[in-house]
Amino acid sequence: MAAPSVSTSASSQVRPGLEGVVATETKLSMVDGQNGVLIIAGYPIEEISGKVSIEELAMLLWTGHLPSKEEAPGIQKDLATYRALRPETLEILKTARNAPPIDALRMACATLSLDVSNPNDISPAGDLALAKRLLARFPTVIAAHSRLRSGHEPIAPRADLSLAANFLYMTFGVEPDPMAAKALETYWVTVSDHGMNASTFTARVIASTRSDMVSAVTGAVGALKGPLHGGAPGPVLDMLVDIKTAPKAEAWLRKEITEGRRIMGFGHRVYKVRDPRAEVLAKTASEMAGAHLQNTKLYALACAVEKTAIKVLEELKPGRNLKTNVEFYTALVLQSIGLQPDQFVSMFACGRAAGWCGHVMEQHAQDRLIRPQSLYVGPKGLKIDR
């Protein structure tokens, strides 16, 4: 059946970018941009980041219940059994060894259901089985790709380590630093879900067609790649390197703004105050700076630049409310554990996979096709003259 037509009188109802449109109900997260609040399945982000593992957080999103301390080890052990990659996935990563990590992840993601007897099963049990594979294997994919592009063979995963610690072990080939593993885990929990962002909406649109979990999450990875969504935490480091010292910050920032360039790590589509995730990651960055002396000066510079940037942005862009966003301290946290800037977006995907899978489960349960309408503004009545 054809969709009903939309009259030109509907033009006043068009919302570019779907700004302000409420598309669904969810129990997974709530974003209050005016007050700087992020709730994950009932818990303020400050309450769970640094206190629960990404495995525990995933089960909260997927089942609605946070595991007890007694249940947590069993969940970690269960998810660890899914970490190993199939030979077909490794072959794709070898072929894509020179591709950006986020592209390698997108290519590999589509293969992660090859060991499932019925990858099209969108029942709650089928979705949960695929969600476990995706969350467990994303870090394995990134670690294997990192090894391959540096000319080394991938390292097999270890079941005795947490997801974050195992990623560090597989990436660097040494016993993981517990503080670095904790920092990465905190980061993944912090970015695990964030309302109806572009990649989550993409996943839900795909799932609404009754397509499978892996297809939906592969699409979400593609949406995350775009710099308007996945962000640019890497250029934050470039900015700090260019500024060099705190006294030079104000002149550098003023020049960038007056020449029409964006200040990386500031401003957000939703938040009109400081991003609550920046609050969490600033604390994590501070802890890492104290443990790794080589990062102490960079952290001190970042704090000075943040303070100066807020002042300059308020003066030169009044009313825009361009406050610190999640990218700013993400750059410091991920750099401090030894990762390269081009890996940052794929690291984001490893944490957000928990939320994507939760939203796919919700959408499958709702079983409603997402089908908005559009307002035609092109010509009509054209004739072929030949």
CB 352, CB 216: distance < 8 Å: no
Decide if 306 is catalytic.
Answer: no
- Length of the chain equals 386
CB-based burial label for 319 (10 Å; 0-12, 13-18, 19+):
exposed
Q: Among the options 279, 306, 327, 362, which is catalytic?
A: 327
- DSSP assignments along 66-93, one per residue: PPPTTTHHHHHHHHHTT-PPPHHHHHHH
CB-based burial label for 376 (10 Å; 0-12, 13-18, 19+):
exposed
Q: Among the options 145, 268, 359, 364, which is catalytic?
A: 268
Distance set, CA 337 to CA 30, 42, 53, 71, 187 (Å): 29, 30, 17, 29, 11
Residue 324 forms beta bridges with which residues? Answer: 266
Distance CA 126, CA 128 (A): 5
CB 235, CB 264: distance < 8 Å: yes
Residue type, 265: G
Token readout for 202 is 């993409």
Count of CB atoms within 10 A of residue 352's CB? 25
Decide if 292 is catalytic.
Answer: no
Distance CA 54, CA 134 (A): 13
Distance CA 177, CA 120 (A): 39
Distance set, CA 263 to CA 34, 250, 255 (Å): 21, 12, 11
Catalytic residues: 268, 327
